[in-house]
Structure 1
Amino acid sequence: MNGFVAALVLSFGVIFVAELGDKSQLMALTFATRFKPWPVLVGITAATALVHAVSVGIGYGLGATLPTGWISLIAGVAFLIFGAWTLRGDELTEEEKGKAERTTGSAILAVGGAFFLAELGDKTMLATITLATQHGWFGTWLGSTLGMVVADALAILVGRLLGRHLPEKFIKYGAAVLFAIFGIWLIVEGFIKVL
């Protein structure tokens, strides 16, 4: 197996397995209950490609790490705000509902921004940095990005199926709880890294 293919396959496998049950996969499931699947997947893909490009750059070129503790703290606070915002809720008229279903830009930005913050300093970022120190940068970047997107696409499918069969109130409270859990998780990770 040549270097590119080995880096691609290894990175895909490692990141796919690391992502199973990870907070990012749970986030994808949560977002999929609120937005159409394609904007969620586009947001995840864009954020993942960017974070993993940074990871590969660090691992391949510098061998250094970002101050991930502070990034985790900021992301954690952001997720607590997302949870409170979800609980507050918004009421849409029928016209606004139709427009919201057609609008994908804001969903892409919301999902992409949330995933970008959540992935900075995450185990998949650190795994990608480690892989990039030992393998080619392009194969590592492509494999790690694809591994994460495929794992999160599975969560999106599950989220869409749940969204069709669960009452809206249950989804709202469930999403708020998940955002709060992500926020607390990130804050704890941040404090551990900072201290």
Structure 2
Amino acid sequence: MEAFFVSVFAIAIGEIGDKTQLLALLLAARFKRPLPIIAGILFATIANHLLAALLGHWVATHIPADILRWALGLSFLVIAAWTLKPDEMDDTKIDYGKYGVFAITVVTFFLAEVGDKTQIATMALAAKYNDIVMVVAGSTLGMMIADVPAVFLGKIAAPNFPFKYVLWGAAAVFAALGCAVLFGLGDGLI
């Protein structure tokens, strides 16, 4: 259960201000159909984070423990720094064509999440824990916790939300995870 709870917390915090959260806002404003958008986010996140977790697990089983510890610790520190720079969506016009809202959401979310900090964090969490199912379940729930309100609230709440403070908090969480891994602190906690 530890892998699940750490994954939920890390991903939910890391997703605040992320480009996929901004994509949720964009899709909600464009289509005004929250249920297929939410279903698309869920499907894309499961697929994307499952691939990330499998890669993270493979790395953990094929890389020596000392090298893995340094790589994981440093990757969490990089994610902490990356978190301080919120993502922005560019103003390019997306051609939605004849595809349904669900399909558009799945494709755009999956592609937007490739190489994203939450995908990399999921890979690092899967490398840390030996429980792919709990990491994917936790990271998916974390994404949903952050993105579903964005779908329902849209741009109404965005100007009043204290993104700056949340981003600093998220960076602190990832930095703490990185330091704990590097210094071997709380081996049973993270």
* TM superposition score normalised by structure 2: 0.61
In structure 2, how many angstroms separate the alpha carbons of the residues matched to 1:133 and 1:85? 35
Aligned mate of 2:58, from 49, 58, 61: 61
Q: Which has the larger radius of gyration?
A: 1
SS at match of 1:83: coil
In structure 2, how many angstroms separate the alpha carbons of the residues matched to 1:20 and 1:38? 21
Shift of 1:124: 0.4
Structure 1 ranges of 4+ moved more than 3 A = none
Aligned mate of 2:21, from 1, 17, 25: 25
Aligned mate of 2:148, from 153, 157, 160: 153
* TM superposition score normalised by structure 1: 0.60
Aligned mate of 1:142, from 137, 142, 153: 137
Amino acid at match of 2:138: G
Amino acid at match of 1:28: A
Aligned mate of 2:108, from 87, 105, 114: 114
In structure 1, how many angstroms separate the alpha carbons of the residues matched to 2:155 and 2:27? 9
SS at match of 2:17: coil
The structure richer in helix per residue is: 1
SS at match of 1:39: helix
In structure 2, how many angstroms separate the alpha carbons of the residues matched to 1:41 and 1:107? 10
Instruction: Give the percent of matched residue pairs that are identical in Structure 1 and Structure 2.
Output: 35
Cα–Cα, structure 1 residues 34 and 151, in superposed 2: closer, same or farther, change >3 Å?
Answer: same
RMSD over equivalenced CA pairs, Å: 2.6
Aligned length: 128
Specify the alignment match of 2:92 in structure 1: 83
- Where does the alignment leave 5 or more consecutive residues of structure 2 unmatched? 63-88, 158-190
